[in-house]
Amino acid sequence: MTFTIATLEEPRKARSLGLDLVDKLTADMRMGRLQAGEKLPSEAEIMKQFGVSRTVVREALSKLQAAQLVETRHGIGTFVLPQNSAPAFQISPHQLGTLHEVIALLEFRISIETEASALAAQRRNAENLAAMQDAMEAFANAIEAGRDAVQADFRFHQEIAHATHNKHFQDLMHSLGTGAIPRGRLQNTLPVDANRLAYLRRVHQEHDSIFNAIAAQDPEAARAAMRTHLSNSRDRLKKSARLSN
């Protein structure tokens, strides 16, 4: 399918360009120019068509994924989801545009995912553990390659929800999408410098603690490890908010 939408203006900020791209792609889906199940053009093709950077394209795709309008299949591409498949509970990309809103989402996740981790420790099977390990390996490979590992990070949390074998936890994480990962919202235009790399390695260590508790079928340890992990993310964002004031 060939896009026919006018090129976006280059001087505008990346965030504004990203939201414009989200709006235009969403309109194409609503008008039927992009059909459910259809594969989107490659990042390079979208960059050329709209005259925007790769960062803008990735930000827009991340927002569309968080809104459950598209899904990315690893190694295959990004596909349009049926509009009637959106879950009843949904957080719009526009609801996560500020630091305060992202902190509020983390507070919500702390209450949900600590219990999900405890249930996962009780109910996980070998397939669940293998899927978590795959996500952790993808996370490690991404950060060592200088990437931000947002997709792998979210996938790890999603696999924990799957390990609860409770549809409601699974649907909730699915509805949040990669927007659940704070740096996917607020920092995805920044380079992975030495400080961020050190932070991502700490996140990986926290994931490892959660995984070990779930693998050991220790609900209390899994609950504590997840609470520590998400609380650390929340506290880091609060600190950055204080420094920016």
DSSP codes, 57-117:
HHHHHHHHHHTTSEEEETTTEEEEPPGGG--SS---GGGG-SHHHHHHHHHHHHHHHHHHH
Residue 216 lies in domain: 93-244
Q: Is residue 8 part of a domain?
A: no
pLDDT at 34: 87
Give the Å distances, CA to CA, from 202 to 142, 158, 165, 233: 14, 19, 28, 11
Are both 148 and 233 inside the same structural domain? yes
| Domain-located, residue 3 | no
Answer yes or no: are the C-beta atoms of 148 and 192 closer than 8 Å.
yes
Q: Is 4 contained in some domain?
A: no
The pair of three-digit structure tokens given for residue 162, joined into one six-digit string: 């799957």
Rounded to two decimals, what is the model's pTM? 0.62
The predicted pLDDT at position 95 comes to: 56
Same domain for 212 and 180? yes
Q: Which of 55, 85, 115 is the last residue of a domain?
A: 85
Domain finish residue from 85, 105, 140: 85
Mean pLDDT score, 23-52: 87
CB 118 within 8 A of CB 224: no
**Do 131 and 167 have their domain in common?**
yes
Looking at the fold, whether 103 and 197 belong to one and the same domain comes out as yes
Q: What is the CATH number of the domain that holds 59?
A: 1.10.10.10
d(CA 71, CA 65): 6
Residue pair 182/102 in contact by the 8 Å Cβ criterion: yes
Query: pLDDT tens-digit profile of 232-244?
Result: 989 887 876 665 5
Question: Could you count the other beta carbons within 10 Å of the beta carbon of residue 23?
Answer: 12
* Position 84 pLDDT exceeds 50: yes
Question: Are 103 and 183 in the same domain?
Answer: yes
- The CA angle 162-165-166, to the nearest 5 degrees, is 100
Do both 68 and 126 map to the same domain? no
**Rounded distance between C-alpha atoms, residue 143 and residue 139, angstroms:** 6
- Spatial distance between the Cα atoms of 148 and 203, rounded to a whole number of angstroms: 11
Same domain, 134 and 216: yes
By C-alpha distance, which of 185, 197, 181 is closest to 146? 197
SS3 39: strand
- Among 109, 157, 113, 150, smallest CA distance to 132 is for 157
CATH of the domain at 236: 1.20.120.530
My answer on whether 38 and 124 are in the same domain is no
Report pLDDT digits (tens) over 126-182. 999 999 999 999 999 988 888 878 888 999 999 999 999 998 998 888 878 777 777
47 and 118 housed in the same domain:
no
Alpha-carbon distance of 129 to 141, in angstroms, equals 18
Domain co-membership, 71 together with 97: no
| Closest to 175 measured CA to CA, from 194, 196, 161, 156 | 161
The full length of the chain comes to 245
38, 116: one domain: no
Q: Which pLDDT score is estimated for 9?
A: 42
- The answer to whether residue 223 is domain-embedded is yes
The pLDDT value recorded for residue 143 is 86
